[in-house]
Structure formats: C-alpha cells, structure tokens
C-alpha cells in the first residue's frame, strides 16, 4: 500500500491525461441540446479497458449517465462526479481556435469544456484507471459522469441520487483552481405578472392603468433586496468573510461583494399589445441568488410583502421552478480536511476552502446529507466564455490529487478520513 502511495505524488500521467482531455473535448456535448451519447460511450469504453465494471443508464431518452464502480470490499464509499455537458460554443468567429478541436498548444489544452469540466473528467478517468490496479484498499469508489448539469441537473445527478446512487462523501471535479469549493448560494427564480386596465393611448395617463408602468415599480422593489444587509449565523458568517478575503486577493472583488448579498437580475420582460393601447399585462422574470445562512423562503416572503406594500394590488409573484436553498459542507468536516491535506501534499500550495457564487450539482448531494467538495483544474476566466482552455500542469495535479484521495479515503487503518503522513 505504501509503495502505491509513494508513487502517486510523482505519477507521470501527463501524456495520458492530456490525451484523454483532448478526446473528451472533441465530442461537442453542447447543452442545449445535451446529446452526450457518443461521449458516454467513449467514457464507458475507457473505463472498461481499465477493467472497471461500467454501465450506462438514462433517466429519459438521451439523458445518459455513466456509472462505474471500483469495489474493494466492505468500507466507506467515495463518489466521484463530473458532468459531460458543456455550454454552447456560441459565435465560432469569436474563438481563436476550434472549440471542439481539443488542440494541445504551449502547455494548454484548448476548447469548450477544457475547464468546465472535461479537464476534471479526464483527470478523474485516469485516476480511476490507476486505482483499478491497486488491491490493498478497503471500500468502494462510485464514479458517475452525468448529463444536464448546465441546465439544472434534474435528469443527471438528482435522478441518480433518487435511484440510490450515493456514498459517504463526494468529490465533484468542477473547476476550482487550488481552493476547493465547499458551498454555494441558493437560487430563487421568480416570475411577476402585472395587470392593468386597457384604454386609448391618446388619453393616457388620464385613463386606464398601465401594467408596464406597474412592472417598473415591481422591478425597483425587487432590486431593493440587493441593498439589504443580513444577520448570518456564526459559521456562515466566518465562511463568507474568509471567502471574501480569498476572492479579493485574487482580484475578484465583484464576486466577493456578491457573497453576502441577495443578487438580483431581471432577465426577461414582455408586455403590452400595441403602441396606442394602455398595456393591460406585463410579465418579467427575476434571478435572485441567496447567501448561505439565509433561507430562500424568508427572502420570498419578504419580497412579497414589499411588493404588496410598495406596488399594491394587481401583481402576482411566484417561483418559476423549485427554488434551491444555499448549502455548504462544514470546513470542519473530516472529508473537507482530507481534501485540503491531499491538495496541500500534491501541490505544495496552501488551499483554503471557499464558497461559490453560482450553483452546481453539489447541492443535490448535500441535500442527501453527503459531505461534498468541488476541486478541479481550471482557468476561471474562460469558463462559459470564448477561448476556454486549461493548463496541462493543472490536469496532472488534479489527477494526482484524485488518485491520492482515492487511496487515502479507502486505506484501512486510516480511520474514516485520516491521511497517513508520507
Ligand atoms: Zn461545470
């Protein structure tokens, strides 16, 4: 066992992890439409070649997940999760390379998904293949490559959890850089509908009631939630301010400021029928993100009350879809501590657990009571933008972190999450 462990830190996996990452990028799994069939087949075949029992299952036609399991007998189960879908490449003329070429140039792998998150998936795959050769471990590793993350995760990770695919701890290979992500804000998407009384435009505002005008008041009221300061419980308070200092050091001042506020975006509006009619209806949709430690339900009640007080009747406001609560795994959790030690050992750096301002499939695992951490190779600037890429050096580091994590999580005698010092 120790022989295996010692080799991990200098594990020469550069060629393998780079090649796999390029291969994954060449499958254009843009979501929408989230067609991952060919990519799922590639991943299955890769794992099967490594001797790992693998299968594909679909929640609905086209939404395929790959499940693979390393079974070393009784013991704890570590889940490794990554999504196969990527956001669309958008306007191809804005890219300075083929987003689905998977080209390797000057120490980078280039393409849509390089950071989010085919780089992470590639590193998970080579770590799985490596771990399949070990025979001194105890417990299980449950690998899942999922669809649908970029459109909510309902048909990927959430569905798998509902089918009973779960474990004692989970690592998601989402892009993070050196600092693992242990929590995320909640999301509250709302639709407001304002009603008015139609009349001839030539007599407005003497006659009728204009629904568009009413909606402008609703928008102002909803945006006022941004100004609020909130009373946080001690642990969220500490986590938020630690993350804020880390983000500010990295030049991410805007993201830092968003963490302890409810952010608001009105993303869509439609109303009225004709230029010379007083509008009798108007509809708008809002995206609000709620900090950890604050309940989405409380924010919604407050908003409804404010709209009632400040705009009055003639407005309905309701969630567009199931809101998701902000969630986090405590930095004191043994699994978080194990991940931190593993990153420290492999990279020689000083990782700090941080929160993310957006959300991911991690929320489903946390909702199922599974301690969950995100760590993966990343060049954060290119994510969801043009010219996405990832460094080969980070791919190698991630593969080593995952391999060491599998090793130490599944090593008998280590206690649940205790790392043996080298
Ligand atoms: Zn992602």
98-107 pLDDT per residue, tens: 999 999 999 9
**Domain made up of 2-183+327-409: CATH architecture:** 3-Layer(aba) Sandwich (3.40)
Say what the pLDDT of residue 183 is.
Answer: 98
CATH of range 186-241+255-319; options 3.30.70.1140, 3.30.70.360, 3.40.50.10860, 3.30.300.30: 3.30.70.360
pLDDT of residue 380 exceeding 80: no
Produce one character per residue of 240-269: b if its CB has 16 or more CB atoms within 10 Å, e if not. Answer: beebbebbeeeebeebbebbbbbbbebeee
Å from CA of 162 to ligand 1 middle: 21
Residues of the chain with CATH 3.30.70.360: 186-241+255-319
Å from CA of 348 to ligand 1 middle: 25
pLDDT of residue 422 exceeding 60: no
Say what the pLDDT of residue 5 is.
Answer: 87
Segment 40-74, tens digit of pLDDT: 999 999 999 999 999 999 999 989 999 999 999 99
Å from CA of 251 to ligand 1 middle: 22
Å from CA of 129 to ligand 1 middle: 22
Å from CA of 263 to ligand 1 middle: 21
Give the mean pLDDT of 199-210. Answer: 97
Residues of the chain with CATH 3.40.630.10: 2-183+327-409
Å from CA of 245 to ligand 1 middle: 24
Segment 266-279, tens digit of pLDDT: 999 999 999 999 99
Say what the pLDDT of residue 322 is.
Answer: 87
Å from CA of 9 to ligand 1 middle: 26
Least confident of 121-135, 288-302, 390-404, 406-420: 406-420
Say what the pLDDT of residue 321 is.
Answer: 85
Say what the pLDDT of residue 25 is.
Answer: 98
Å from CA of 120 to ligand 1 middle: 9
pLDDT of residue 325 exceeding 90: yes
Better-predicted residue by pLDDT, 362 or 383 = 362
Tokens of 143: 């690998």
Say what the pLDDT of residue 4 is.
Answer: 75
Å from CA of 73 to ligand 1 middle: 31
pLDDT of residue 202 exceeding 80: yes
Percent of the chain with pLDDT over 90: 89
Å from CA of 285 to ligand 1 middle: 24
Segment 222-238, tens digit of pLDDT: 999 999 999 999 999 99
Å from CA of 357 to ligand 1 middle: 13
Å from CA of 229 to ligand 1 middle: 30
Å from CA of 327 to ligand 1 middle: 17
Give the mean pLDDT of 66-92. Answer: 96
Å from CA of 107 to ligand 1 middle: 22
Å from CA of 90 to ligand 1 middle: 17
Å from CA of 289 to ligand 1 middle: 18
Å from CA of 88 to ligand 1 middle: 13
Å from CA of 339 to ligand 1 middle: 19
Say what the pLDDT of residue 370 is.
Answer: 98
Give the mean pLDDT of 167-195. Answer: 97
Indicate the average pLDDT of the chain: 94
Say what the pLDDT of residue 3 is.
Answer: 65
Å from CA of 274 to ligand 1 middle: 42
Å from CA of 361 to ligand 1 middle: 9
Say what the pLDDT of residue 413 is.
Answer: 62
34, 148 in Cβ contact below 8 A? Answer: yes
Å from CA of 195 to ligand 1 middle: 39
Å from CA of 216 to ligand 1 middle: 34
């Amino acid at each position: 066992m120790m022989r295996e462990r010692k080799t991990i830190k200098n594990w020469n996996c550069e060629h393998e992890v780079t090649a796999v990452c390029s291969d994954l990028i060449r499958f254009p799994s843009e979501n929408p439409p989230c067609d991952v069939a060919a990519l799922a087949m590639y991943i299955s075949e890769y794992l099967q070649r490594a001797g790992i029992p693998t299968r594909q299952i679909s929640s609905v036609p086209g939404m395929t997940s790959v499940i693979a399991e390393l079974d070393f007998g009784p013991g704890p189960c570590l889940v490794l999760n990554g999504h196969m879908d990527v956001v669309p490449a958008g306007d191809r003329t804005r890219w300075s390379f083929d987003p689905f070429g998977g080209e390797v140039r000057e120490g980078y792998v280039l393409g849509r998904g390089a950071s989010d998150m085919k780089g992470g998936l590639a590193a998970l795959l080579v770590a799985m293949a490596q771990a399949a050769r070990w025979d001194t471990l105890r417990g299980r590793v449950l690998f899942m490559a999922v669809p649908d993350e970029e459109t909510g995760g309902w048909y990927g990770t959430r569905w798998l959890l509902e089918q009973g695919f779960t474990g004692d701890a989970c690592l998601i290979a989402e892009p993070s850089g050196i600092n693992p992500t242990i929590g995320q804000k909640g999301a509250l998407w709302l639709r407001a509908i304002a009603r008015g009384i139609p009349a001839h435009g030539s007599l407005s505002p003497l006659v009728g009631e204009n629904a568009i005008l009413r909606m402008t008041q609703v928008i102002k009221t909803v945006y006022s939630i941004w100004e609020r300061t909130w009373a946080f419980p001690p642990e969220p308070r500490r986590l938020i301010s630690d993350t804020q200092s880390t983000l500010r050091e990295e030049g991410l001042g805007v993201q830092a400021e968003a963490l302890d506020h409810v952010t608001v975006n009105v993303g869509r509006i439609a109303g009225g029928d004709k230029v010379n009619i007083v509008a009798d209806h108007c509809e708008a949709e809002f995206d609000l993100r709620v900090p950890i430690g604050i309940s989405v339900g409380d924010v919604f009640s407050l908003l409804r009350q404010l709209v009632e007080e400040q705009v009055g009747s003639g407005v309905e406001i309701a969630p567009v879809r199931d809101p998701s609560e902000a969630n986090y795994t405590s930095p004191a959790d043994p699994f978080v501590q194990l991940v931190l030690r593993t990153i420290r050992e492999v990279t020689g750096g000083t990782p700090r657990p941080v929160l993310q301002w957006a959300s991911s499939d991690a929320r489903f695992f946390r909702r199922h009571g599974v301690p969950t951490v995100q760590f993966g190779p990343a060049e954060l600037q290119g994510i969801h933008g043009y010219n996405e890429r990832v460094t080969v050096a980070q791919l190698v580091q991630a593969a080593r972190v995952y391999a060491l994590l599998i090793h130490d999580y599944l090593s008998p005698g280590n206690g649940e999450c205790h790392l043996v010092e080298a």
